[in-house]
Amino acid sequence: MQVCAEGEAVKVTLQTAMSSIMTNKRRAGALKSLGVETLEDALLYFPFRVTPAVEVKPISEIHAGQKAAFPAFIERVAVFPMSRGGSRVVVSVVDDAQTWERGAVAASNPALPLEGFAGMAIRPAHASLVFFSYKKHYVDWLCSRLREGRQIVVCGDASEYNDRLQFTHPAVMTIASSDADSDVDAVTNAHVHADAANVGEALQRVCRPQPVYHANSRISSEHIHDAILGALRILELQGMQPNESEESAHVSSQNQQDQPVPQIASAAAGPTLAPPEPAVINPARLAGAIPDIISDSLRADHGLLHRAEAFCAVHNPSTTDEFQRGIDTLRYEEALVSQVSLLRERADARKSQAFVCDPPDDADVEQRFIDSLPFGLTQGQKQVIADIDADMMRTWPMQRLLQGEVGSGKTVVALAAMLRAVGAGKQAVLVAPTQVLAEQHFEGLQRMVSTVPGCEDVPVVLLTGGMKLSHRRKALAITASGAPCLVVATHAAFSKSFQAPNLALVVIDEQHRFGVEQRQTLFEGDGPTPHMLVMTATPIPRTAAMTWFGNLDISWLTELPGGRKPITSVVINEADNATMGQMFVHIRRRIDAGERAYIVCARIDEGDAQSFDEGYDAAPVAPEADLDGDGVPDDAQPAVPLHSVEQMSQRLEALPQFRGVTFATLTGRDGDETKHSVMERFSSGEVQVLVATTVIEVGVDVPQASNIVIFDAEHYGLSQLHQLRGRVGRGGTKSWAFFITRAEPGSLGAQRLDVIRTSTDGAHIAQADLELRGVGDVLGDVQSGNHSSLRLLRVVADADVIEQARADAEKLLESDPQLTGNVELAGAVVDFMRSTQADAA
């Protein structure tokens, strides 16, 4: 327990700073660099795996290459100088045959992995323990602890040197002697501390599974573990009943790093000589400081641990099964908190007032628009429009997510909803992520609205950050007047200068390009809250949508309008010169037929320090997920530089296949006027080949584009490749997508390309994207949940957990909408919502 300067005890809570309970301030600073600032942060810093339990064997049964633990006696300790300074300490040990013969090892702890040796007579064998150090005080300390005749327990990796079994820098625990005199150092006449009271206790501590944490150069996994155990011990002391003594808790309140154990200076240094103190942590006492979030009834229904028990099981497991049970409990807790948060947010939104958009029959411009279309709506479009109409006639704001394949007709659905608002005498805004896309939407909406009888005078307003000041002022004046109008805007809609007093509907295209906080600015104010429709062509699997968009009603457009032909997808190894040449000849033939081609590269130019174009409107490829938890990206950036727009444009223009063909480039660094000019020239046919970064991924619509070539395709996420492929085949002509790769067969990148080659099903691709890559690329960084809001939950593997938590959350809120009977859960929900908002900021 922490004590202040005057000696008065200070209450420790989960929000207490780690630095206030740790005397090693450098280590506290290292933890802070990992985001661990409070005791709660420490408990929520979960290990990504645990080591298996170490087998216990006599020395005679251990072979080189095995990891094992064994009791032994020290026969001799020798110190040898090293040629470059420092010392080598060699400790010769022999099997503790008497302990094995008495069966004392098995009797002390029946759970130890003894490989059938309990109670057996063995023939004693010898081994060497080797330690290297350049610090004399450490060598002296070793020699004072490891004295001839002393009983010890050793745990480490076996090797062989000069035909003798050897353990380099193993973990060693000294055993208390029954003879008090033997525990007194002959030189200093000081008492020598023993690490364990008996062999069984020592083996239990060194053999139990050890959590492994993501560490960095400032702090090791072992020291992270020490700090977390220290936090648990202090919280246990805090949770003791008033009539309990500190001695009865059998817990030390001081962190292990405060003990004077020098660090080994050798490059080959391993664990310290003595492992951490035995964490005899009583979860019942710990529960006094760590209340549970899950109710008793839910915990019993699902066979879960108390939160305090779960933290102990994860950070200090006795078995791997115990560790997994703790993880399962905390995973369900995350799922429950997230689902309750989303459902509460949804319920709170329904308390707001919205404009009721129920236009009179003579002003039903939405229906007139549908009747004027030169094509029939798909059944899916009809259903989604009907759902949106019903939503917009309610008194509370609509919150709907519309998912649809590239080219599935989301824009038509959005315009129908916007015209419903206009017919009711209100305003509607469509927000696009780029100026190019906003201008395309503007031109498309103007063209479609002009054909609707009675809508010729409905203003369609364009508002972008790159507009001339005079045009911008005129656009802002129209919206500020409150007159019925359709507005197409970029990020400019989020500025304070944008005022629309009768704004009834906000449509957000490619929602993952905008942060939550950005979107929220459109819903702030004193008037009614606008209805909201967010759209995405990036398919999101059901469990992912439930996890991150569970506060929204979700609609899917799965049908493609008639006339769309399937796109042929081809994967080509860049080293295959013959096939690459055939591809370029094919593209030239299609250009001669009046069609266009995209060439996509990851970098802008050769001097670009970034691996990918990071223009404000670009969609840089997300870094690969660390799916195996080893702290290293699963598909690291290649040693060979990725292709750039500048280099590829020059290279292709020089090819004889493209003689007489006009090229242009487009990247996120280009200004809005340049982007608009390039796209105009490409659409008109003045430019036949557009070499670009992923700025073309969203919304670029050139019907004559029939070919797309994506270089370094293995470094893109599946959903992004699917989006890029959707840039062609929009004019009813047969189209091709070529994925150029340098990936090794069987690699993660090669697996992704195999999926994209064999499937055009967005739902299947999205699921595969999650399984192969992780959720970040699917949802965008601000929505991915890879920050503090979610730590353990996996949207693919934990689908059953998410669905169960959703059902439990619905029942819980139905019986207790304000969570008055679940105070701890209510607090966790508030914390979750705050952390989610902070991640999105």
The predicted-structure confidence for 187-236, as pLDDT tens digits, reads as follows 454 556 788 888 888 888 888 888 999 988 888 888 899 899 999 989 88
Backbone dihedral region of 712: left (phi > 0), alpha (psi from -120 to 50 degrees) or beta? left
pLDDT class for 52, splitting at 50, 70, 90?
Answer: confident
> Can you give the three-state secondary structure of 348-405, one letter per residue?
HHCCCCCCCCCCCHHHCHHHHHHHHCCCCCCHHHHHHHHHHHHHHCCCCCCEEEEEEC
Is 806 in a helix, a strand, or coil? helix
Q: In this structure, are residues 128 and 166 in contact, taking their beta carbons and an 8 Å threshold?
A: yes
- Topology given in CATH for the domain delimited by 361-557: Rossmann fold (3.40.50)
End-to-end Cα distance, the chain: 37
DSSP 92-140: EEEE-HHHHHHTHHHHH-TTS--TT-TT------EEEEEEEES-HHHHH
Residue identified by tokens 């959707």 is 726
DSSP 708-724: EEETTGGGS-HHHHHHH
The DSSP 8-state label assigned to residue 278 in this structure reads P
Alpha-carbon distance values, 126 to 74, 93, 95, 165 (Å): 10, 6, 7, 7
Task: Output the six-digit token pair for 209.
Answer: 């599974």
Task: Output the six-digit token pair for 698.
Answer: 């969203």
Task: Output the six-digit token pair for 168.
Answer: 């380099």
- What CATH architecture applies to the domain 567-627+635-759? 3-Layer(aba) Sandwich (3.40)
Is 787 in a helix, a strand, or coil? coil
pLDDT at 1: 38
CATH superfamily ID and name for 55-208: Nucleic acid-binding proteins (2.40.50.140)
Is 5 in a helix, a strand, or coil? coil
pLDDT class for 435, splitting at 50, 70, 90?
Answer: confident
Is 760 in a helix, a strand, or coil? coil
**Which residue would you say has higher pLDDT here, 348 or 26?**
26
The DSSP 8-state label assigned to residue 262 in this structure reads P
Across 251-255, 423-427, 606-610, which has the greatest mean pLDDT? 423-427
- Closest by CA to 16, choosing from 40, 45, 44, is 40
Q: In this structure, are residues 134 and 235 in contact, taking their beta carbons and an 8 Å threshold?
A: no
Outline where DSSP puts E strands in 184-275: 211-212
Q: Residue 323 carries which side chain, given as an amino acid letter? A: F
Q: How far apart are CA 667 and CA 647, in angstroms?
A: 13
Lowest mean pLDDT among 362-371, 501-510, 545-554: 545-554
Q: Do domains 55-208 and 567-627+635-759 have the same CATH topology?
A: no
Burial class of residue 814 in the structure, from the number of CB atoms within 10 Å of its CB (0-12 exposed, 13-18 middle, 19+ buried): exposed
In the chain, domain spans: 18-50+213-318, 55-208, 361-557, 567-627+635-759
DSSP 610-670: SSS---TT--PPPPPP-TTSSSS-TTPPPSSPPPBHHHHHHHHHTSGGGTT--EEEE-TTS
pLDDT at 91: 95
Q: Tell me the per-residue pLDDT of 452-490, one tens digit each, with 9 for 90 and over.
A: 877 777 889 999 887 888 888 999 999 999 999 999 998
Region 657-670 average pLDDT: 90
